[in-house]
Amino acid sequence: MPAKRISVRERLEKYRRVDLVTGCWEWTRARGKKGYGMIWVVDKFIRVSRAAYELYVGPIPEGLNVCHKCDNPPCFNPEHLFVGTQSDNIRDSVEKGRWPALGGKEVCKYGHPKPYRGGCRICSKEKKAKYYQENRERLLAYARKRDRRKVRE
C-alpha cells in the first residue's frame, strides 16, 4: 500500500519551528543555497515562502516576487511576507543596509569586520578549517589515491 500523501498545508505546519521572539515560522527541512526553504509541490521544488503566501494570502501576480519584511530566508510567516517587484525587493534591501554595493553592513553577524565587498574573511577561514577537520580522513584518502595515479603515469 503506498504511503499517504499529505497536503502542502499539512507539511508547512508539520515542518515549521516558531521563533517566539521574532514570530518567524522557520522551515526545518530542505533549503536552497541562500537559505530559503524549499518544498516539493506537484512536480518541482518551489520556495516555501511562495507556497505559504499562495496558501494563506492568495495568488501571486505574474512577474512579482514574495519578499520578506523580517530578512529571515527560511521564514514563511504570511505576516512577514509581501509581494513586490524586483526593484521593490532591492530598494527594501538597500534601506535596511543589506546591499553590499551601497555600503551594506560593515560587520558580519558574528561582529567580525567585513571588507567593502564580499563576505567575512574570518568566518570564511573558520568555516574552511572546520570543513577540513571534519572531512580529514576522506580528503587524505583522496590525496593518496591521486598521488598513486600520478606515479603510474
Which pLDDT score is estimated for 24? 92
User: Any idea what the CATH number is for the domain that residue 64 is in?
Assistant: 3.90.75.20
Quick: pLDDT tens for 142-153.
Answer: 888 888 877 766
Which structural domain range is residue 145 located in? 106-153
Question: Do 28 and 83 fall within a single domain?
Answer: yes
Question: Do 5 and 76 fall within a single domain?
Answer: yes
Question: Do 77 and 113 fall within a single domain?
Answer: no
Cα–Cα nearest to 32, from 81, 73, 93: 73
| pTM recorded for the entire structure | 0.63
Quick: pLDDT tens for 94-148.
Answer: 887 776 665 556 777 677 776 655 667 777 788 888 888 888 888 888 888 888 8
Question: Do 66 and 136 fall within a single domain?
Answer: no
Total structural domains within the chain: 2
Domain end residue (candidates: 78, 104, 130): 104
Percent of the chain residues past pLDDT 90, beyond the cut: 38
CA distance 128 to 86: 33
Quick: pLDDT tens for 26-83.
Answer: 999 998 888 899 999 888 999 999 999 999 999 999 999 999 998 888 999 999 999 9
